[in-house]
Amino acid sequence: MDRFTQFALAAALQAAKDAKVEQGGEDVGVVVGSGVGGIITLLDQQQVLLEKGAGRVSPFMIPMMMINNAASQIAIRFHAQGYSSCPVTACASSLHALGEAYQVIHRGEARLMFAGGAEAPLVPVAIAAFANMKALSASKREPAQVSRPFDRNRDGFVISEGAGILVLEALESALARSAHIYGEIRGFAASTDAYHVAAPEPEGTAIVSMIKRALTSAGMIPEDIDYVNAHGTSTPLNDKIETLALHKAFNSHAKRLLVNSTKSMIGHLLGAAGAVETIAALLALERGIVHPTINLDEPDPDCDLDYVANRPRFQPIHSFLKLSYGFGGHNAGLIVSRYQG
């Protein structure tokens, strides 16, 4: 397995243990996304080819580098023979995975789904490419202070690696197994900027429409949302446009939202970001503690919402919206509420 698949399987094993899931079947599926998949394997085998010749290239290279290998290995481990898929929508991949898994269960095609994302992109060529397109921070600050979403002095994201896998299932299934329920998915929507392959559309139009459709699918109004776990990349364009989109989608309620960026503390996991950040938001929902957006020392005038700057907020949360966006203009939004059973 490539490193990204190892992350995915390790996370799935943790999720299964937490949810008391032991085996799969025809009604258990997997949706796990990634942005770049097995890039480590690809580069390693390219080096083998150059140094030792074609005959020494590993026969395992293809399955190891396939982006769908994470979903495949989880399915094999848990004998999950149901619906399986692998969204590849850059940094929106794992939130698309959660939304897709939710829809599969909602329409009755599965009882239980493993869903999320994994990424292991920390290789020199990927770091150089992101740096040269001015997406990464060039800050000379101490490393822990570099990711600073919504701050006036932000200049790019900090790339990181990891995985987040969640167990999604029909309520009856969770209750029958006495599983711990962290939250209830209420709605999901997706959209595409159709504007530019790497830059967000300046008015946030597709993001706004997506948020409104997510609310509609949840049967909710803007005032029902307490908290937004933002994409919050610490790039100049994303944070400004995301703030604008929240103003447009929530109108006067935007100022009452708690908004934070998990990336301020853990960096940007690319395709795995949405799932990992959803886990952070679920813990806020359960515990009533919204983690801070750290390093927000000098607020940007264009970023004028309550970003829970630098200190956690102890406040009951009833419903949250998780947002993710990816290169190519892909947007995803998931709404989760506290389970009222």
Residues forming the active site: 91, 231, 268
What the block records as the tokens of 81 is 């023979």
Rounded Cα distance between 288 and 222, Å, is 20
- Cα–Cα distances in Å, from 133 out to 78, 120, 207, 269? 40, 19, 23, 17
CB-based contact 69:1 (threshold 8 Å): yes
What the block records as the tokens of 160 is 């990181």
- CA 77 and chain centroid, separation: 23
- Of 125, 122, 131, 127, whose CA–CA distance to 156 is shortest? 131
What the block records as the tokens of 200 is 């967000």
What the block records as the tokens of 264 is 């301020």
Cα-flanking dihedrals φ and ψ of residue 114, to 5°? -90, 130
CB-based contact 20:177 (threshold 8 Å): yes
CB-based contact 321:208 (threshold 8 Å): no
Instruction: Walk across the sheet containing 227-229 and list its strands.
Output: 184-192, 330-337, 319-326, 227-229, 258-260
Neighbours of 263 (CB within 10 A): 25
Rounded Cα distance between 226 and 260, Å, is 12
